[in-house]
Amino acid sequence: MQKGEYIKLFGITSAERTPLFCSNNNYIYLLELTNNLDFIATSILGGELDKMLLISDKNETEKCQFFTKNNIIYILYGQFPDKKGKWLLEQMAKHYDELVLGKDFNNLEKLDKHQIDLKFNSIIKFILVEYLKMQEIFSDQDIPYVEDKIRIDYLGVSSRSIGVISLLLGDEIDVELPGQFGSEEEEKEMKESILTAKIEAIAANTLGNTGSVPRWIAVKLGFQNYRFLTFKKYENDYFVYLLSEGNLEKIKIAEEMFDPYILHVTGTPFIGNLQPFNRLKTSLIDVLKEKRIFS
C-alpha cells in the first residue's frame, strides 16, 4: 500500500443483520452499525449504502466503504482511495459468494461457518498480495461527481442527541408514516420527527461505538448520482445535519451560508429553552425558501 494507506477491517454482514465475517474483532461493532446505516440508506434515502467518513476528536479522518451483492454487505474500514476500496470490495464479494453458494448464509452451522472463515482469511491474504502487485495500476483519485450543484432536502439541529430543529424541504425524501394524518402540516411534522429520531440514533450509535462522529454518509442512487447525510459539529455539543443530493464538494457552500444564523444559538449549552431555536427555525425557513440549491 502507499504511504498513509491502511485497512483496519474487512467485514461482512447480511442484509438480514447476520454477522458473517470480521477480520478484526476490535471493530466488530461496525457490522451492526453497517446494518443500521443500510436501513437508513435503502428506506429513507432510497439508495444503496456507499461510503462514510469519520472524524475523531483529534481531527483525524478514516473511511468506511461498502458494497452490496446478493443481500450481503461487504465493509472496508481504514484509510484508502475510493477506487482501491472498490476493487478490494468487489474481490471480497466474488470470493465469498463462491464460498456460500447454495448455502443459507443467515443460518450457517458453527462448524460450517468456522470452515468458511478459515478459507476466507486465506483469500483475504491472497487478495492483499494481488492488491500490492497492482499499485501502479490504481489511481489515487476519488470517483468524480457528475453533478455540479447540491440540493438541500432536510436540515436538523441537535444538542446532545436532543433534536431542537427539524426542517423537511420538498418531497424528495420518502418517509414511511405510521397511520393517517388529518392535515399536510401534521404529516410533515411527523416525517420531520421520524427523520430526526433516525439521524440522532445513527449519530449516537456511531459516536458511542467508534469515538468518532460521521462527517458524511454517502448513498448511491445511480451512476455517479449520490445522496448525502452530513454532520457538522459546533461548540457546546451542537450538531447540524443536512440531507442533500448532488455534489458533496458543494456542501461547504451551504454550511457556510447557514453558519451566521446557527452561531447565534450555539454559544451556550442547551438547557431546554426552545425560544432562540424557534426564532432560528423561522430565519432558516426564510433563507431556504430563497435558496436550497447551491452551485
* Per-residue confidence (pLDDT) for residue 270, from 0 to 100: 92
| Selection from 61, 67, 60 nearest residue 38 by Cα | 67
Query: Which residues are 158's β-sheet partners?
Result: 163, 239
* Cell numbers for 121: 482469511
CATH fold for domain 150-294: Beta-Lactamase (3.30.450)
| Selection from 235, 236, 253 nearest residue 292 by Cα | 253
* Per-residue confidence (pLDDT) for residue 140, from 0 to 100: 58
Cα 15 to Cα 24: distance, rounded to the nearest angstrom: 20
Alpha-carbon distances, residue 282 vs 93, 167, 172, 198, 255 (angstroms): 48, 10, 22, 23, 17
| Selection from 247, 156, 171, 244 nearest residue 201 by Cα | 156
Digitized pLDDT (tens) for each residue of the chain, 295 residues in all: 667 789 999 999 999 999 999 999 999 999 999 999 999 899 888 999 999 999 877 778 999 999 999 999 999 999 998 888 999 999 999 999 999 999 999 999 999 999 999 999 999 999 999 888 877 666 555 666 778 899 999 999 999 888 899 999 988 888 888 877 778 888 888 888 888 888 888 888 888 878 788 999 999 998 778 999 999 999 998 999 999 999 999 999 999 999 999 999 999 999 989 999 999 999 999 999 889 999 8
* Per-residue confidence (pLDDT) for residue 138, from 0 to 100: 65
CATH class, 6-133 region: alpha beta
CATH 3.30.450.70 range(s) for the chain read 6-133
pTM for this predicted structure: 0.89
Provide the sign of the torsion angle of the four alpha carbons 231, 163, 245, 211, taken in this order.
positive
Cα 239 to Cα 234: distance, rounded to the nearest angstrom: 6
Provide the 10 A C-beta neighbour count for residue 251. Answer: 20
Cα 218 to Cα 195: distance, rounded to the nearest angstrom: 16
Q: Rounded to 5 degrees, what angle do the CA atoms 207, 208, 210 make? A: 65
* Per-residue confidence (pLDDT) for residue 58, from 0 to 100: 76
* Per-residue confidence (pLDDT) for residue 158, from 0 to 100: 92
Query: Which residues fall within 8 angstroms of residue 41, CB to CB, at 6 or more apart?
Result: 47, 48, 49, 50, 217, 219
* Cell numbers for 281: 427555525
Complete DSSP assignment for the chain? --TT-EEEEEEEEETTS-EEEES-GGGTHHHHHHHHHHHHHHTTS-SEEEEEEEE-TT--EEEEEEEEETTEEEEEEEE--HHHHHHHHHHHHHHHHHHTTTS-GGG--HHHHHHHHHHHHHHHHHHHHHHHHTTTTS--SPPPPS-S-EEEEEEEEEETTEEEEEEE-SS-S----SS--SSHHHHHHHHHHHHHHHHHHHHHHHHHHHSSEEEEEEEEEETTEEEEEEEEEEGGGEEEEEEEEE-GGGHHHHHHHHHHHHTTTSSS---S--HHHHHHHHHHHHHHHH--EE-
